[in-house]
């Protein structure tokens, strides 16, 4: 299968590639292109790091003090 613009096609495959949901054939196709294209490779690496960065950014905020106690107080008393 040929594509007029291999980099545009590679861009379309980026998310499914990082999600590991490409078929074996598509995977090979993406990797063959990435092997020879520094431009796309850099963008794939960026996207991969961005996902980690997003997760870190939104996970650092601690739970408000006192919320745990409030939740524990919602427990239904025995009897």
The footprint of other proteins (CB under 8 A) covers 11, 14-15, 21, 38, 42-43, 45-47, 49-51, 53-61, 63-64, 67-68, 70-72, 74-76, 78
- Which C-beta is closer to other proteins: that of 24 or that of 61? 61
Q: Smallest gap, in angstroms, from Cβ of residue 49 to other proteins?
A: 5
Q: How many CB atoms lie within 10 A of CB 13?
A: 19
Q: Smallest gap, in angstroms, from Cβ of residue 19 to other proteins?
A: 8
Q: For residue 47, give the nearest of 68, 19, 21 by alpha carbon.
A: 19
| CA 33/CA 7 separation, integer angstroms | 8
């Amino acid at each position: 299968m040929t594509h007029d613009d291999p980099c545009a096609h590679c861009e379309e495959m980026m998310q499914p590639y990082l999600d590991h949901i490409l078929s074996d054939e598509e995977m090979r196709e993406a990797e063959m292109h990435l092997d020879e294209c520094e431009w796309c490779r850099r963008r794939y690496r960026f996207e991969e790091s961005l996902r980690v960065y997003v997760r870190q950014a939104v996970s650092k905020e601690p739970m408000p003090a006192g919320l745990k106690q409030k939740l524990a107080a919602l427990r239904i008393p025995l009897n």
